[in-house]
């Protein structure tokens, strides 16, 4: 296989070697280049033999000397250097299958691409992989790998993912662990299916793969109102969420005593559903599962408390509002109350947004749309500024899931809208009205 070079960075090692756009990259130091992982792994060498092919099939090679890890300077038509791998599972809980019609095409694409796991932290199921792919990961010793496990019962995993490879691919997980590849795992729990005794057994088996398995996140299934014709699932009740937490705590406390780490953690959403206070920061160790909503609220609380120590009230007078999902609203209200104790001139109203767009069971902030923001906040006294968590926006930070923009919301509500990061210090700055560019939020 070869990959077409579309551009060469001026002054780069590749440019100095005379490599031209339009040529095909065939190999680096005799290693065939199939995708971005091969390229990034073999490109780090200081001396490179680069095999090339022109449009007529003619072959040549050049030799490049460069600093270790210096970029070679080649650009390709896509970041992955080939097509993104599509998920071949038909999981009974798949969120993409529950999306409403008429949304942009990219929201209906299901990825299951190991390269995105390494590069961006995406979770993969391993069902898209062959033995040669596992061998390559082990050879390159790429870590960490983020794996959606869901259950360690092979038959149940196959049933839940509706893919025959779901059972056999669990062996890949064990191969990676045996090779010392670091692995973060997630269990999307569905009431009455992979919880209860199945959860206990999954925790036990994943615990046996420690220290390669660095963390286990348990996340409750997310259910929208668009489930016609799909597998019958229901949300967790308060009592069931409490039971899941008890099971995980029993395992993690014993593991902590034995190995010095908890290893397994319920997502914040489980604590909110159960009506159990979010644990302190010490509970979460290294916060290995923030991308799964594990410890986000605890980290925010911890950082906000630290930031408050550095600020004194200078007569602040500010009235604002904050919109978020229903699940974290009470938590954020309590944290803002701590800020107003220090800054009594701050008046911040928290608006929990009911998710009419996706349905009653969706309560997280990340799935709140502009449509619901506008529909529920229009006519409300929002003060001088409306704060929203940036996780409501897609990664490009330009649109909500319903394709509306922040500008659309500002125009409809007649108030400036400010996206806020999950970082406690930046959250405090936003509350106090300190103006600076704030990155993406996750609450």
pLDDT of residue 68: 81
Give me the domains of the chain, ranges plus CATH numbers: 3-76 (2.30.42.10), 96-293 (3.80.30.10), 301-432 (3.40.50)
d(CA 183, CA 301): 27
pLDDT of residue 89: 83
State yes or no: pLDDT of 435 exceeds 80: no
pTM for the whole structure? 0.82
Q: What is the dihedral of CA 185, 191, 196, 202, to 10 degrees?
A: -20
Give the model confidence (pLDDT) of 189-245 as tens digits.
999 999 999 999 999 999 999 999 999 999 999 999 999 999 999 999 999 999 999
Residue located via tokens 């319920």: 266
d(CA 393, CA 368): 9
Mean predicted confidence (pLDDT) in 362-369: 94
State yes or no: pLDDT of 114 exceeds 50: no
8 A C-beta contact, residue 199 and residue 188? no
- Pick the residue with more confidence: 75 or 359? 359
8 A C-beta contact, residue 46 and residue 127? no
Angle at 432 between CA 427 and CA 435, to 5 degrees: 80
Listing DSSP states for 135-147 in one string gives HHHHHHT---EEE
d(CA 278, CA 298): 6
Give the model confidence (pLDDT) of 143-171 as tens digits.
889 999 999 999 999 999 999 999 999 99
Mean predicted confidence (pLDDT) in 117-141: 80
pLDDT of residue 141: 87
pLDDT of residue 104: 65
pLDDT of residue 81: 55
Cα distances from 156 to residues 149, 166, 201, 213, in angstroms, run 11, 9, 12, 21
How many C-beta neighbours within 10 Å does residue 345 have?
A: 13
Give the model confidence (pLDDT) of 17-42 as tens digits.
999 998 889 988 988 887 777 777 78
pLDDT of residue 291: 85
pLDDT of residue 181: 95
pLDDT of residue 368: 96
Cα distances from 274 to residues 23, 236, 277, 353, in angstroms, run 59, 9, 9, 20
- Pick the residue with more confidence: 441 or 307? 307
8 A C-beta contact, residue 323 and residue 333? no
From the list 359, 392, 404, the residue with the least C-alpha distance to 98 is: 359
State yes or no: pLDDT of 91 exceeds 80: yes
d(CA 197, CA 191): 12
State yes or no: pLDDT of 140 exceeds 90: no
Give the model confidence (pLDDT) of 211-225 as tens digits.
999 999 999 999 999
pLDDT of residue 79: 58
């Amino acid at each position: 296989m070869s990959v077409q070079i579309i551009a060469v960075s001026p002054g780069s090692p590749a440019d100095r070697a005379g490599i031209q756009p339009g040529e095909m990259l065939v190999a680096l130091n005799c290693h065939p280049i199939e995708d971005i992982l091969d390229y990034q792994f073999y490109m780090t060498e200081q001396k490179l033999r680069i095999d090339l092919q022109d449009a007529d099939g003619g072959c040549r090679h050049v030799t490049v000397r460069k600093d270790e890890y210096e970029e070679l300077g080649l650009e390709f038509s896509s970041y992955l250097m080939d097509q993104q791998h599509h998920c071949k599972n038909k999981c009974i809980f798949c969120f993409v299958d529950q999306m409403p019609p008429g949304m942009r095409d990219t929201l209906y694409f299901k990825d299951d691409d190991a390269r995105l796991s390494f590069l961006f932290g995406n979770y993969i199921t391993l069902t898209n992989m062959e033995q040669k792919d596992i061998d390559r990961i082990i050879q390159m010793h790429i870590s960490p790998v983020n794996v959606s496990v869901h259950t360690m019962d092979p038959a149940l995993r196959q049933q839940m993912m509706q893919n025959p490879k779901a059972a056999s691919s669990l062996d890949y997980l064990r191969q990676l662990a045996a090779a010392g590849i670091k692995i973060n795992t997630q269990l999307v729990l569905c009431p009455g299916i992979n919880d209860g005794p199945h959860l206990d057994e999954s925790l036990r088996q994943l615990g046996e793969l420690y220290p390669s398995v660095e963390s286990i996140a348990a996340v409750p299934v997310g259910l929208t109102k668009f489930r016609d014709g799909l597998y019958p699932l229901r949300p967790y009740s308060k009592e069931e969420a409490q039971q899941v937490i008890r099971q995980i705590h029993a395992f993690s406390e014993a593991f902590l005593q034995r190995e010095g780490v908890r290893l397994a953690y319920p997502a914040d959403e489980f604590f909110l559903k159960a009506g159990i206070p979010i644990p302190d920061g010490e509970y979460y160790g290294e916060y290995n599962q923030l991308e799964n909503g594990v410890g986000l609220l605890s980290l925010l609380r911890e950082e906000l408390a630290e930031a408050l120590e550095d600020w004194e009230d200078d007569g602040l007078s500010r009235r604002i509002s904050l919109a978020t999902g229903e699940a974290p609203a009470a938590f954020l209200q309590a944290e803002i109350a701590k800020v107003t104790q220090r800054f009594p001139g701050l008046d911040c109203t928290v608006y929990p947004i009911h998710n009419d767009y996706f349905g009653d069971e969706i309560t997280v902030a990340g799935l709140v749309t502009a449509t619901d923001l506008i529909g529920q906040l229009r006519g409300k006294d929002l003060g001088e500024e409306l704060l929203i968590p940036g996780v409501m926006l897609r990664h490009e930070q330009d649109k909500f899931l319903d394709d509306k923009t922040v500008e659309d919301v500002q125009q409809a509500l007649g108030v400036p809208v400010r996206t806020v990061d999950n970082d406690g210090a930046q959250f405090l700055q936003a509350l106090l009205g300190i103006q600076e560019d704030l990155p993406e939020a996750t609450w």
